Structure 1
Amino acid sequence: MSWPAGYGKRVLPEVDSTLDEAARIAGDLTGPEWILALRQTKGRARRGRDWKDPRGNFAATLVFRPDGAADQVALRSFVASLALYDACVAVTGRRDGLALKWPNDVLLNGGKLAGILLESTGQGSGVTYLSIGIGVNLMETPMKEWLEPGAVWPVSLLSETGIQVSAEEFLEALAQAYARYEAQFVTYGFEPIRTAWLSRAAKLGEVITARTATSDTEGTFETVDARGNLVLNTAKGRVTIPAADVYF
């Protein structure tokens, strides 16, 4: 497995957060850069939540200067999700049990294997730098007390497949997969990415709940639209949801 052309790589024995490191180095970069931490001491997840990072797991960030408006740049979460799916297939040789959970999680046998967090800097509608933070439970799962109420129970690649993969090995597979999907996204736009994502989507056609800070919406998961929004068929009609946590 070779490293994709045009992408930099740095492996750090320890760092507070790969997202924080990305913010520190972004201004000096001349191209996209992967940052892998063998140990992360202050990781974080969506909505400012802490991300606990047991040893042996995967914590990395890809930082680069994207083209396009902020809403289009944000669609990279789907690019990253597909890359994560393919990386898991590459290192295990299997796709059984893998699924993508809107907006940014990878499931294995119904449990949460990996998550994605996007952070960006810029002014107005433009984005100067985009950081895609990725965490994968390769070896261990976070303890129950670390989880938010109602969250999908975490699993690890090792516990579900019996396969042991190092963070460096996983990064090689992920970087290759991401480069392929990024090239597709830049060349052909979001539609082929959206189609591929939906073919791997968890609970498509089933009843789910989308929860925001102010309300819960229950409905049948119909699709993801051209802007990456979740589309539910509810008792009150079709509802489009731009951001939420999904519960099954």
Structure 2
Amino acid sequence: DAIDKCAGTHQMVGLKWPNDLLVDGAKLSGILLEAESVSRGRTALVLGFGVNCVAHPEHGLYPTVDLAALGHRISADQLFNALALSLDHWLSVWRRAGGFKDVRKAWLARAVHLGRTIRVRNGDREMAGIFLDLDNRGHLVLGLENGQRETIFAGDVFLEGLQPEGSPDIPKF
């Protein structure tokens, strides 16, 4: 939302579960959330992100892009201010009774891999299937070849055609 506001675009950015922002398949941004239990049943959360505003890595595992290369001259300060407003908005939506339903719906509207074959890797475990949905906690629901559904709590997602070099192709179902 913040990038669209600053760039004057409408849904230019797509979301790749769990934490990347893509434009036409190229990574523009990554987001990292880390949570830890603290005293008296409370949880502390750290949110970190990076947006390629004026430069991007030329060589890496995946294609990357920056806002300037897309024709948008947006300063880090402008983007930060827009992000603060957007984050405030979505946190207020989240806090409402049943608010995650609205967050989930907005996230799915931008999901670049919904209904597509993906591969998910978590440690030594890897599986392929169709990205079907997000559950009521934001976990990925993967449809397997055998008709079963697998809920993925964490992992690296590889989109068809966007696997790192040297990775085997995703099996076609």
Return the offset for 1:108. 1.0
TM-score by length of 1: 0.60
1:112 matched residue in structure 2:
27
1:142 matched residue in structure 2:
57
2:157 matched residue in structure 1:
246
Q: Which runs of 5+ in 2 are unaligned?
A: 160-173
Deviations 1:144-171 (A, max 9, x none): 1xx3xxx4321111112x1111111101
Cα 1:164–1:229, aligned 2, differ >3 Å: closer, same or farther? same
What RMSD over aligned residues (CA atoms) do the two structures have, in Å?
1.7
Q: Which amino acid aligns with 1:239?
A: E
Task: Give the distance between the partners of 1:194 and 1:124, measured in 2 at CA.
Answer: 29
Q: Which amino acid aligns with 2:23?
A: L
Return the offset for 1:121. 3.9
What SS does the aligned partner of 1:181 have?
A: helix
The answer to whether 1:157 aligns with 2:67 is yes
Cα 1:176–1:96, aligned 2, differ >3 Å: closer, same or farther? closer
Q: Which runs of 5+ in 1 are unaligned?
A: 1-85
Task: Give the distance between the partners of 2:11 and 2:46, measured in 1 at CA.
Answer: 30
What SS does the aligned partner of 1:176 have?
A: helix
Q: Which amino acid aligns with 1:87?
A: A
2:86 matched residue in structure 1:
177
Displacement over 6 Å in runs of 4+: none
What SS does the aligned partner of 1:226 have?
A: coil
Task: Give the distance between the partners of 2:11 and 2:155, measured in 1 at CA.
Answer: 27
Task: Give the distance between the partners of 2:36 and 2:116, measured in 1 at CA.
Answer: 36
Number of residue-to-residue matches in the alignment: 157
Return the offset for 1:125. 8.6
Return the offset for 1:206. 1.0
**Residue correspondence of structure 1 range 20-169 to structure 2 within 5 A:** 86-95=1-10, 97-123=12-38, 126-144=41-59, 147=60, 151-160=61-70, 162-169=71-78
On the 8 A contact 1:97/1:110 being kept in 2, the answer is no
User: Which structure has more helix as a fraction of its residues?
Assistant: 1
The answer to whether 1:204 aligns with 2:114 is yes
What percentage of aligned pairs have identical amino acids?
A: 38
1:19 matched residue in structure 2:
none
TM-score by length of 2: 0.84
